[in-house]
Structure 1
Amino acid sequence: MLRPLLVLALWLCITLSTTAQQHYDATWNSIDSRPVPQWFEDSKFGIFIHWGVFSVPAWGPTKSSVYEKYAEWYWWRLLDPKAETYAEFNAFHTKTYGKDFKYQDFVKGFTCEMFDPAQWATIIQNSGAKYVVLTSKHHEGFTLWPSAQSWNWNAVDVGPHRDLAGDLSDAVKAKGLHMGYYYSLYEWFNPLYKSDVNKYVDDHMIPQMKDLVTRYKPDVLWTDGEWDHPSETWKSTEFLAWLYNESPVKETIVVNDRWGKETRSKHGGIYTTEYDLVHDETSVGKKIEHPWEECRGIGGSFGYNRNENLADYSSSEEVIHILIDKVARGGNLLLNIGPTADGRIPVIMQQRLADVGAWLHVNGEAIYNTRNWASAPPVKADTKVFYTRKGKDLYAICTKFPEQAFTVTGVNSSAKVSLLGYAGKVNYTVNGKAVKITAPVLNPANNPCQHAWVFKIENAL
């Protein structure tokens, strides 16, 4: 009997230990100890969607500083005399709608009659993205689901009279993609927030976030609007302890670092950059030793901006190069699209996504499930070579086609080289710990892709 009892005791010890490790206290030390779920770092590419009442005026200046270009900030810029674009917003608003037209009246134009969630999901799937993050509620406080805390200021009570968040979630998950939500902690003009932030947190924000999580079971909760108060005021660690210990997505949920005015790049889950401008420590070209994600629009705004022209949009080549840069540095790219108020993804955005998808169809092996190569040399202007790794294999991603031979050092002597999507032979020589690669001559008939080319170096590491 002794041995079975010992086995049982050992099993109980292991079980209790595992259970204890999976419990998180409402402190940053404990919350920060939770690993980011692996699916996120494997996915590499996601689609951000900014959609709301701000999609009706859909306007912002294009020649201002980064944040002043955001069309989704229309209501705030209209009423904040300190905003650098206050005069521009008011001039446009008065000329177009009249000075007495209230922002809340825009909800009548948020009709979404062209919204086809299955079509959106197909466009996103074809882009090669593996996850989606939809604005469930932006700073204007309008929710895209029937939130009890936002009575008569949600997409079911007014506007389209439709559960937009739920409909898109069903369509995205049906494609096998991860679904997530952006959520603004604060609301610009909510009377409760303005008068009693503690009551707002207890009676409005936390119940609303819990409803969003339990109702739709998202894989991402992407918070924002945290900068007015420290995380203690937002009760962020208390909410995250519930999310990690009790919620229905406690094992899979990914969160970001926007939980209080002191938390970015310090606490939470993944670190977030925004048009490469949010944090000095995450500047362009620097490797970040933590799971992270860059978010940006294809144009200068997240919400749809009717004022943007072709020159204001990144080209397909630029978008693909941005993706390569982020992944080579160990991060993800969350690329934003801004649908129209009637529920369409603008054609120019569809075209950019289709081009990224076409490139990933050939070269996704060098992006998905990869990690950055710690020994990667600096990117040189003449070759523009970025590196990712997967197991023993290395990928040299050339954003400029190498007309001259280039050398990769620090590889095994048994390394073998091929060009993804190219059926022909690639000439290379291995000398000690270096492989010298000579690119093949390509023409329209045998060129595997546009914008960037990937040389796979098998058994390199």
Structure 2
Amino acid sequence: MKDYSLQVERIEKAIEQGPFSDELRSLEKYSCPEWYENAKFGIFIHWGVYAVPAFNSEWYAREMYQVGSLAYEHHLKMYGAHKEFGYKDFIPDFKAEKFDASEWAGLFKAAGAKFVVPVAEHHDGFAMYQTELNRWNSMDMGPKRDVIGELANAIRAEDMVFGLSSHRAEHYWFFDHGLGYDSGIDDPDYADLYGPIMKGPSGLHRYQEAHPSKHMLEDWLVRTCELVDKYQPSLVWFDWWVNNLAFRPYLRKFAAYLYNDGVTNNYGAALNYKYDALSPRAAVFDIERGQMNEIYPLFWQNDTAISKSSWGYTENQVYKTSESIVADLIDVVSKNGALLLNVGPRADGTIPQKDQDILREIGSWLKVNGEAIYDTRPWTLYGEGPTKVATGAFSDTHRSDFTSGDIRFTTNGDTLYAMPLARSQDGVVRIFALAKNSNHAPREITNISMLGHGPVEWSQDNDATTVFLPKNGSSMPCALKIT
């Protein structure tokens, strides 16, 4: 077991020398960087060893050891007994032979993304970067490349902001299903991949029942601070397990370390958190696969995926449409948020053609309508319409599709943008918030145009402002520029 005392001491001394301490009252003096509030749209990347089996989801590493699960039965059928072929045995086939960081970055740029967040380490414990803290890493095994380092350079070369995510906190219980039988995960030769294994609580969201050891917590802190030292990410994303009460003091230490490094090295650092791991003013609140039902007073983020079925690459993905993703982006931005959209590359390093097509369709839309998204701020109300959006995680595929009556607003200076989230069949858009007698629009409308088209016909009365759109056959939302 590694002794992290010297590394922890170094981290604590570095915190003492910066403007932020690990006390919550100090972290609450943090201000979200302007680049983040202006960016609005980023790309998330789940890529790792789990792309080799490419079955069911990126949680294959856990579920393959869960007796009776689909992944367990699939593993027996395809690879044999777990003791003879365990998760570690997928690593040699994770070759990434077609991985081209510059090609990926060019695609994300074409998609209109302003920031990119690859997963540096997922729950499975395999690091996608060069490190001496973990021999199970992409430089020493599998691809034999510093994937995160290559992506950092390529993303910055395209003038996008580089971030990363770590799921190390979830690793400590991720393989615990293999403890119940002779699965091979207790082999001491592989203890540094599968362990140290903490028995997870019944129900993984009952995270307060778990009691990670001091060594696990120090291991997490040292590994995550190493990512800051090596790559200086402007955004760091954590999954939900840092909500565990034992983790929270270490999370505050990490936040102080990241923010201080951002100040020292002059990059606007931001940190995402879920649920109540931190306070709203100490970091940027993130909702997984979910949104807000109103304007949130502080900048926030929705992380979701192109696929409805998995974050990592699997066969037979169930995809969202580019139209629905653009509508979600508009809805999120109207409520003071950003959208972080995930893709899952194959094990060979290629991004599936369907993912590429969707990203390029989004990019084409943003090329025309981006001024209604980038650099904007919420209006006095987010929008109007019949479709109800619930606040909270895992809700974005459990509501009705947006309609042409669902309209969202953004502003930039004196300009107001109104965006119907679907196209109406007759081309007529009625905006009730812009009626003559509306409290929301006290100033006179002088002009309305559609981005990518030009001026459009419109009229205003005491009930609504009615806009007559050109019939161009597009199924994408449009953006109306109102002055």
For Structure 1 versus Structure 2, the TM-score category normalised by the shorter chain is 0.7 to 0.9
CA distance in 2, matches of 1:441, 1:262: 46
2:363 matches 1:357: yes
Residue in 1 that maps onto 2:328 = 322
Q: Which runs of 5+ in 2 are unaligned?
A: 1-15, 176-193, 200-211, 387-402
The answer as to whether partners of 2:429 and 2:468 remain within 8 angstroms in 1 is yes
Question: How far apart, CA to CA, are the structure 1 residues paired with 2:285 and 2:256?
Answer: 19
- Number of aligned residue pairs: give it: 405
2:98 equivalent among 105, 114, 123: 114
Asked if residue 36 in structure 1 is aligned to residue 32 in structure 2, the reply is yes
Q: Post-superposition shift, 1:77?
A: 1.4
**Shift of residue 226, structure 1, vs aligned partner:** 2.0
For 2:476, the equivalent position in structure 1 comes to 451
Q: How does 1:212-361 map to 2 (within 5 A)?
A: 212-227=227-242, 229-230=244-245, 232=247, 235-246=250-261, 248-249=264-265, 251-258=267-274, 262-263=276-277, 266=280, 268-276=282-290, 283=292, 285-299=293-307, 300-308=309-317, 312-361=318-367
Aligned to 1:437: 466
How far does residue 253 in structure 1 lie from its aligned partner after superposition? 0.9
Match of 1:78 in 2: 64
The range that moved more, 312-321 or 407-416, is 407-416
Verify the 8 A CA contact 1:45 1:131 in the aligned structure 2: yes
Task: Name the % identity.
Answer: 30
Deviates more, 1:267-276 or 1:99-108: 267-276
Match of 1:149 among 133, 142, 154: 133
Alpha-carbon RMSD across the aligned residues, in angstroms, is: 2.4
CA distance 1:268–1:105, change in 2 (3 Å): farther
Partner of residue 197, structure 1: 213
Superposed displacement of residue 90, structure 1 = 0.9
Q: Which moved more, 1:235-244 or 1:96-105?
A: 235-244
Q: Normalising to structure 1: TM-score of the pair?
A: 0.82
Tell me the distance in 1 between the aligned counterparts of 2:428 and 2:44: 38
**1-side partners of 2:287 and 2:248: how far apart?**
23
SS at match of 2:479: strand
Match of 2:70 in 1: 88
Q: State whether residues 219 and 249 of structure 1, in contact with CA within 8 Å, keep that contact through their aligned partners in structure 2.
A: no
Q: Is the 8 A contact 2:243 2:276 kept in 1?
A: no
Aligned residue type for 1:428? W
TM-score by length of 2: 0.78
Q: Tell which deviates more after alignment, 97-106 or 371-380.
A: 371-380
Q: What is the deviation of 1:205?
A: 2.1
Residues 205-250 of structure 1: CA deviation (Å, up to 9, x unaligned): 2222222112111111112252572255551112222222245556
- Match in the other structure for 1:102: 86
Change (3 A) 1:118 1:251: closer
Is 1:366 matched up with 2:355?
no
Aligned to 1:25: 21
Does structure 2 conserve the Cα–Cα contact (< 8 Å) formed by 1:275 and 1:296?
yes
**Amino acid paired to 2:245:** P
Q: Which amino acid aligns with 1:125?
A: K
Opposite residue 360 of structure 1, the aligned amino acid is: L
Partners of 2:128 and 2:265 lie apart in 1 by 20
Per-residue CA deviations over 1:334-365 (Å, capped at 9, x if unaligned) read 11000000100000000000000000011001
SS of alignment partner, residue 287 of structure 1: coil
Write the deviation string for residues 50-87 of structure 1: whole angstroms up to 9, x where unpaired.
01111111111xxxxxxxxxx11111112245xxxx52
Give the equivalent residue in structure 1 for 2:451.
420
1:213 partner SS? helix
